[in-house]
Amino acid sequence: MSFRSLSFQRCLQTFVASSFNSKDKTHRYFSSNPAFPLQQPRKASYKIYSEDENGEMEWEKLGFGPVSTDFMYSMKCCEDGNFVQGNLTHHGNIEFSPFAAVLNYGQGIIEGLKVNRKENGGLLLFRPDQHALRMKMGAQRMCMPSPSIHQFIHAVKQTALANIRWVPPPGKGSLYIRPLLIGSGPVLRVGPAPEYMFLTYASPVGNYFKVLLYLNDKQLILTSNEIELYGLLIKLQGRTPLSLYVEEEEVRAFSGGVGGVKSVSNYGPVLKALVRAKSLGFSDVLYLDSVSKKYLEEVSASNIFTLKGNVISTPPTSGTILPGITRKSIIEIALGLGFQVEERYISVHELTEADEVFCTGTAVGVAAVGSVTYRGTRFEFKVGENTVCQALGSILVGIQTGLIEDKEEWIINIH
Ligand code: COI
């Protein structure tokens, strides 16, 4: 198949790392007395895995797709609003009543954190307290009880340690931990659930925007020579600056809604615009405010920043914008470097003058935007070496991976 015969308009699909095989799932880190077992933990003896026992993993191929790991952690909370002792069980399917509030009425909150491996093998967690706090705020908005900060961090640590063999080697990716807080109890009339579940599971991840090649909606099946050739292309695409499409029909959030919290209900509504933008060859969608359709809001899974001269701007978190932990960290790093940082409404027309545009998010990291297309006009921005985006991203990753001193005490060593 000719390299040129690929239509790039059709080629951009999320890389699904489903081909990674795991061996027998056993581990030494399961613990604790099940209080409300999600599933009966399998009583089989747990084989002890060493942390480097994942020899078959092709870490280079990691994108941002679901890779099942060994264990997940869960806690339940009944009418009294208190979460009690949780436990680790094998990673696997969970069972709910069809009446579960999260399934019917979207009563649920997600979080996302990354665990990184240091050169010396240690494991680092980045600002887990901030994620716990954000879940608490989101839970209030969604009328749910939430785990304490301590319970949240404990669950994340347990999940990371239980899945230690899934933490990629330094420079090859991270172990993404997904905390979920959901209305698991049954409802029929619209109302808060009588029972809640807090669950954390893990998946190793690489670049969020890494893609596999598709042709005419079919994933390409390649010979080994072609895999080598396309492997190079996939790598390049992982680092390629984003091309964003400004969406004017669908909105992500509106005043008084839940755009400012990580409600599960924020993501379904963006899919139509996202799929359309991807089918046109764009990497992602840039949403505008729901009222004037004039001001930048955010991208499907990340916050947006612009740079003009020494001034870095980002939309304010006044209800429709998610208060990203990466957003907050980049603002703090930029201020420390002497940039002027403005949290303000940014008109889409200001893109004509921006020097750089970039996105931030836990999953996305700090990603350079090469172009934004608005009403058929493509605005281009500086990317690559010697950009502010690259400098900020390197500092952040340096702190997250233990290569740069953590002066702000953002990092927790967990192993
Ligand atoms: C994250 O950045 O961790 C997120 O939760 C975004 C997610 C929707 C992929």
Q: Where are the domains of the chain?
A: 21-206, 242-383
**Structure token pair of residue 122:** 């240690």
**Structure token pair of residue 293:** 């359709």
Residue linked to tokens 């700090």: 366
Measured distance CA(176)–CA(201) in Å, rounded:
8
- pLDDT, position 196: 97
- pLDDT, position 5: 33
- pLDDT, position 340: 98
Task: Assess if CATH 2.60.40.10 describes domain 21-206.
Answer: no
Give the phi and the psi of residue 406 in degrees, each rounded to 5.
-95, 80
Measured distance CA(251)–CA(270) in Å, rounded:
8
Protein residue closest via CA to atom 3 of ligand 1: 112
CA of 208 to the centre of ligand 1 (A): 9
Protein residue closest via CA to atom 7 of ligand 1: 301
- Going from the C-alpha of 210 to that of each of 78, 106, 115, 285, the distances in angstroms are 41, 29, 19, 16
Q: Is 162:29 a contact under the CB 8 Å cutoff?
A: yes
Give the phi and the psi of residue 202 in degrees, each rounded to 5.
-140, 155
Helix ranges (DSSP H) in 89-177: 101-105, 128-141, 149-162
- pLDDT, position 54: 76
- pLDDT, position 229: 53
- Going from the C-alpha of 278 to that of each of 85, 211, 212, 336, 352, the distances in angstroms are 43, 11, 13, 36, 23
CA 276-278-284 angle, 5° bins? 105
CA of 267 to the centre of ligand 1 (A): 10
| Closest C-alpha among 244, 345, 255 to residue 300 | 244
- Which amino acids bring their CB within 6 angstroms of ligand 1? 110, 112, 267, 301, 361-363
Protein residue closest via CA to atom 8 of ligand 1: 301
- pLDDT, position 321: 97
Measured distance CA(258)–CA(265) in Å, rounded:
8
What string of pLDDT tens digits covers the 415 residues of the chain? 332 333 323 332 222 222 223 333 333 333 333 333 334 444 334 454 666 677 678 998 899 999 999 999 999 997 788 998 899 999 999 999 999 999 999 999 999 999 999 999 999 999 999 999 999 999 999 999 999 999 999 999 999 999 999 999 999 999 999 999 999 999 999 999 999 999 999 999 999 998 655 454 554 544 444 445 555 454 444 468 999 999 999 999 999 999 999 999 999 999 999 999 999 999 999 999 999 999 999 999 999 999 999 999 999 999 999 999 999 999 999 999 999 999 999 999 999 999 999 999 999 999 999 999 999 999 999 999 999 999 999 999 999 999 999 999 999 999 8
Catalytic residues: 262
Q: Measured from the CA of 362, which atom of ligand 1 is nearest? A: 2
Probe target for ligand 1 pocket from 14, 262, 274, 396, with the most ligand atoms within 8 Å of CB: 262
Probe target for ligand 1 pocket from 16, 64, 109, 110, with the most ligand atoms within 8 Å of CB: 110
Residue 198, classed as helix, strand or coil, is strand
- pLDDT, position 415: 87
Q: Measured from the CA of 64, which atom of ligand 1 is nearest? A: 9
CA of 310 to the centre of ligand 1 (A): 29
Q: Measured from the CA of 302, which atom of ligand 1 is nearest? A: 2
CA of 414 to the centre of ligand 1 (A): 22
- pLDDT, position 159: 97
Residues in the chain: 415
What kind of architecture, by CATH, is found in domain 242-383?
Alpha-Beta Barrel (3.20)
CA of 176 to the centre of ligand 1 (A): 10
